[in-house]
Amino acid sequence: MAQWDPDSGKVRPTWEVSFSPWWVFVGCALAGVICAVIVFVTVLGGSAGDLPSGGRLVESGIALLGLIVAVFILVGPLLAWGLGFMLRSTTNDNVHILAFAVLGLAVGFMLGNLVGAGALIAPAAGVGAGAARWAISSRARL
């Protein structure tokens, strides 16, 4: 839980599970891609003729993918570090995956409501965050 640091003369917390900055970035990008794909498939499958046709559909999908991935890359690392800090003494991978999914759900709902699509983005963000955390679990430093 905590360890004495003789250099600083203070007690500092120890991290039981950690990731390199590269793998945090990869996890955030992967979560963004998963979320964007889920949102795109949901919109594509749920609309009855309201979709743009042909090339506009591809352009809309690429713009959606880019926007969601950008938000995950900009906001994700800070949130991942904060959640990782809170879970630093827990080595159970399932707890980490569930916590990341719940965090993705909550943040997706809050940010999604800014554009009026909280109910659409929240589940996709939760699944994306949980799946990405599961995907990079093997890269954790224990």
Query: Could you read off the pLDDT of 94-123 as tens digits, one per residue?
Result: 999 999 999 999 999 998 888 777 888 899
Any residues with CB less than 8 A from the CB of 82 and at least 6 apart, and which? none
Structure pTM? 0.79
Q: Domain tally for the chain?
A: 1
Residue 112 lies in a domain: yes
The model's pLDDT over 34-63, given as tens digits with 9 standing for 90+, comes to 998 898 888 777 654 555 556 666 676 677
The CA distance from 109 to 126, in Å, is 9
Can you tell me the distance from the alpha carbon of 85 to that of 6, in angstroms, rounded to the nearest whole number? 22
Residue 24 in domain: yes
Query: Is position 86 within any domain?
Result: yes
Range of the structural domain that residue 83 is part of: 19-43+53-139
Contact 121, 108 (CB under 8 A): yes
- Written as one letter, the residue type at 62 is I
Beta bridge partners of 5: 10
Instruction: Answer yes or no: is 8 within a domain.
Output: no
Task: Answer whether residue 13 is part of any domain.
Answer: no
What residues form DSSP beta bridges with 125?
A: none
